[in-house]
């Protein structure tokens, strides 16, 4: 077996180098933990070493964490507890070594990597922007099981630890130093010199004591809250309240983290570790954890494989343009400026350009509220933005993205003009959410450089970008657009040019079904509450208000015409827009009245519902909660099956990730198709036949689902 660790001892300084053979990252597999334990055991009585420095040979990586594949394979609680105890025991041995240990973090240090560093006597981080320290286990439905929940609070206090462990968000070296997670921040360019100085410092007893004193310094509020039982009780009460608000109780890991810290914070380390592995073992075997880990693997695969058929070298993108400003143009402008790519925004009037600048500045400002960003850095990024009322400067751009009104003829005219004002090799992309890429490209002399690049709103928060090649789009254009999306830190997903592409194709029938139920007299707040109870981040009517009712109506009408959906099912939306000028949150009222951060149901909608019922002779419907849920979810299921049938996307697991990223489908359920597998195809088809018989032809299951029932197949059996 190849060794993962290499030890050198020079003049009393031991240097332990972690370099896992054949891997891009260092991670703790079972074999690595065993090797580490043997090595630590061999050092217990070593009198030659005065200080042990632990580093990584991997560029921009310290330790990525434990091998997640070993966690997902666990089926029994006893095995999970054994795995947790194994790591805890080895890290305890590291902590008990008779000489100081120093973790030198010059890259990603996550999960088990952070827990390993916490077991060291000292931690040093560089200012490398690739440094990412954190405990992301909560995002996998588990909690840190190798001492992280015990050592971190003892190091930096309860308040900060709760935030770090509950969010799972990593932080850089600067923040790590401010939080006192690391004891020194050193420049990467002078790492060796500054590390040598730090080693000299900790070799001196009085200087070493200063480091320990710095760790103990706490603010008055921290002392007041954490040093007495009443203060801690308030902290835990608030933490539980915040968790319930964010997760609605459907994710057990965050609540278990709060419960564990409440039970163990005042306990000795060995007692706390025992509780930690008990809590970890309960979570590691849940279906929710398995689903979240599976989505993590899918996400990693999607980042690397967005659907390129051929391996073509992408063209470099040095500058970009966006056609059409406003909120969407401003969001796209932010994405490019944030990636340090100059972008020029064009519109026909100054007001939309002003809105675009305001949108971009607002995104940076809001981000700064959660994670302080140096003002000069924001200034530099904002300076990447420029604007124009004509095509001045557009011949310099490597790509131009159209983000104007969703109207085919208007877009075609814009592309005719644009083609005469850019270079022959400039990529032209459309941010359309519904319209045919092939049809739009038909007006171009050079359609092979045309492609769909559909960003989701708000651009700064939605990670997915649909990449839609037309029939004539070149492989070079596809490869370049995929590479650009990744550079913008988005997840690109290549989908077929088809009405609504993938996400909107599946989402719009769901939204239409909700509107139809409202027209049938079913309480709107009840429908929203049922879907939120299922795990959706917001109900369909709150979502419609957020998107804008005018946008929803237009997209629904376009897709209804192209997918043979019933347009009278969205008559309520039409009346809300035309008769009451209700546009949703942006106008202050839609299905709900929006006052600052609060909202409440808009009773004027009830009058419009009655008007629709009279016009179409609709009798108010009495319906079970289960029928409401099934009507909504099974529209998603049927449309997802049809998308696979039509090869809009080839891999079922990529469809699952697209709906999680693009619609907020509850991650703990693993995706819509994994949810089908969990219900079982027999049960799913039984429900479809009930819905079909009671509510109509739109619930006739697609051929793919019928075929799965005949052959007793699962989506994820096909995907493996």
Please give the positions annotated as active site: 454
To 10 degrees, the CA torsion angle through 357, 358, 359, 363? Answer: 110
Q: What is the DSSP letter of 306?
A: S
Which of the 8 DSSP states describes residue 376? H
Q: Is the peptide bond before 458 cis (omega within 30 degrees of 0)?
A: yes
Q: How far apart are CA 252 and CA 261, in angstroms?
A: 14
Tell me, letter by letter, the H, E, C secondary structure of 627-646.
Answer: HHHHHHHHHHHHHHHHHHHC
In angstroms, the CA 9 to CA 439 distance is 68
Q: Scan for tokens 């001892």, then name that residue.
A: 9
Task: State which H helix or E strand residue 75 sits in.
Answer: none
Tell me which long-range contacts 629-632 makes (C-beta under 8 A, separation of at least 24).
629/530, 629/531, 629/534, 630/687, 630/691, 631/513, 631/517, 631/691, 631/695, 631/699, 632/510, 632/513, 632/514, 632/527, 632/530, 632/531, 632/534, 632/540
Report the C-alpha gap between 199 and 670 in whole angstroms.
47
SS3 string of 108-145?
Answer: EEECHHHHHHHCCCEEEEECCCCCEEECHHHHHCCCCC
Alpha carbon distance 463, 661 (integer Å): 6
In angstroms, the CA 95 to CA 101 distance is 8
**φ/ψ of residue 466, rounded to 5:** -80, 125
**What phi, psi does 104 have (nearest 5°)?**
-105, 105
- 6-42: string of b/e by CB count within 10 Å (b at 16+)? ebeeeeebbbbebbbeeeebbbbeeebbebbbebbee
Tokens of 595: 């006052």
Partner residues linked to 429 by β-bridges: 401, 451
Backbone torsions φ then ψ of 665, nearest 5 degrees = -50, 135
Please list, in sequence order, all residues whose beta carbon lies within 8 angstroms of the beta carbon of residue 492, skipping any fewer than 6 positions away: 306, 465, 467, 481, 482, 485, 486
Task: Report CA 453 to chain centroid distance, whole Å.
Answer: 19
Short-list 332, 329, 322, 335, CA closest to 352: 329
**Do 343 and 337 touch, CB atoms closer than 8 A?**
yes
The most distant pair of C-alpha atoms in the chain lies apart, rounded to whole Å, by 91
Tell me the two tokens of residue 70. Answer: 């070993």
Range list of β-strands (E), 181-272: 184-186
Q: How far apart are CA 294 and CA 316, in angstroms?
A: 33
- The three-point CA angle 245-248-250 to 5° equals 145
């Amino acid at each position: 077996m190849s060794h993962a660790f290499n030890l050198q001892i020079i003049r009393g300084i031991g240097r332990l180098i972690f370099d896992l053979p054949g891997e891009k990252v260092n991670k703790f597999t079972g074999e690595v933990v065993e090797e580490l334990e043997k090595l630590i055991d061999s050092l217990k009585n070593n009198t030659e070493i005065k200080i042990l420095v632990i580093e990584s040979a991997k560029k921009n990586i310290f330790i990525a964490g434990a091998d997640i594949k070993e966690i997902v394979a666990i089926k029994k609680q006893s095995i999970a507890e054994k795995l947790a105890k194994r790591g805890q025991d080895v890290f305890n041995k590291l902590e008990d070594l008779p000489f100081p240990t120093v973790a030198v973090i010059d890259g990603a240090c996550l999960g088990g990597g952070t827990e390993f560093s916490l077991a060291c006597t000292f931690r040093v981080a560089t200012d490398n922007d690739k440094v990412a320290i954190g405990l992301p286990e909560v995002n996998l439905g588990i909690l840190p099981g190798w001492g992280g929940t015990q050592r971190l609070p003892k190091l930096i206090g309860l308040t900060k630890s709760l935030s770090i462990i509950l969010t799972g968000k990593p932080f850089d070296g600067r923040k790590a130093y401010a939080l006192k997670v690391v004891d020194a921040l050193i420049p990467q360019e002078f790492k060796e010199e500054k590390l040598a100085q730090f080693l000299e410092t900790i070799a001196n007893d009085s200087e070493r004591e200063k480091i320990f004193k710095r760790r103990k310094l706490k603010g008055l509020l921290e002392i007041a809250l954490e040093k007495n039982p009443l203060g801690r009780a308030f902290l835990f009460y608030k933490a539980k309240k915040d968790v319930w608000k964010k997760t609605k109780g459907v994710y057990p890991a965050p609540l278990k983290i709060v419960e564990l810290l409440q039970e163990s914070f005042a306990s000795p380390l060995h007692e706390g570790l025992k509780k930690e592995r008990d809590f970890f073992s309960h979570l590691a075997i849940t279906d929710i954890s398995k689903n979240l880990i599976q989505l993590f693997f899918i996400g990693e695969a999607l980042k690397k494989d967005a659907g390129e058929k051929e391996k073509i070298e992408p063209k470099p993108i040095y500058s970009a343009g966006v056609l059409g400003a406003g909120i969407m143009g401003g969001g796209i402008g932010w994405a490019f400026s944030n990636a340090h790519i100059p972008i020029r925004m064009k519109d026909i009037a100054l007001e939309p350009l002003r809105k675009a600048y305001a949108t971009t500045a607002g995104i940076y400002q809001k981000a700064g509220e959660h994670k302080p960003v140096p003002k000069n850095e924001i200034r530099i990024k904002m300076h990447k933005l420029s604007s124009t009322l004509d095509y001045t400067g557009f011949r310099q751009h490597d790509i131009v993205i159209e983000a104007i009104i969703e109207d085919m003829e208007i877009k075609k005219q814009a592309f005719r003009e644009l083609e005469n004002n850019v270079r022959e090799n400039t990529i032209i992309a459309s941010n359309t959410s519904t319209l045919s890429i092939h049809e739009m490209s038909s007006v171009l002399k050079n359609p092979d450089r045309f492609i769909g690049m559909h960003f989701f709103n708000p651009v700064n928060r939605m990670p997915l970008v649909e990449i839609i090649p037309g029939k004539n789009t070149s492989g070079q254009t596809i490869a370049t657009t995929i590479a650009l999306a990744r550079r913008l830190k988005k997840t690109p997903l290549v989908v077929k040019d088809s009405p609504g592409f993938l996400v909107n194709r599946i989402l719009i029938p769901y939204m239409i079904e909700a509107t139809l139920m409202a027209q049938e007299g079913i309480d709107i707040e009840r429908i929203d509450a049922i879907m939120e109870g299922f795990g959706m981040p917001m109900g369909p009517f709150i979502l419609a208000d957020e998107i804008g009712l005018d946008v929803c109506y237009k997209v629904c009408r376009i897709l209804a015409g192209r997918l043979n959906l019933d347009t009278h099912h969205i008559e309520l939306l039409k009346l809300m827009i035309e008769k009451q000028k209700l546009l949703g949150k942006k106008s202050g009222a839609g299905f709900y009245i929006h006052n600052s951060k609060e909202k409440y149901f808009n009773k004027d909608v009830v009058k419009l519902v009655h008007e629709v019922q009279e016009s179409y002779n609709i009798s108010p419907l009495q319906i079970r909660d289960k029928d409401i849920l099934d009507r909504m979810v099974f529209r998603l299921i049927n449309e997802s099956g049809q998308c696979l049938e039509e090869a809009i996307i080839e891999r079922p697991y990529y469809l699952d990730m697209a709906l999680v990223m693009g619609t907020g489908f509850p991650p703990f359920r693993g995706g819509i198709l994994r949810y089908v597998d969990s219900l079982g195809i027999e049960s799913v088809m039984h429900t479809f036949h009930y819905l079909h018989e009671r509510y109509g032809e739109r619930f006739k299951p697609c051929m793919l689902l019928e075929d799965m029932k005949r052959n007793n197949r699962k989506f994820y059996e096909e995907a493996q």
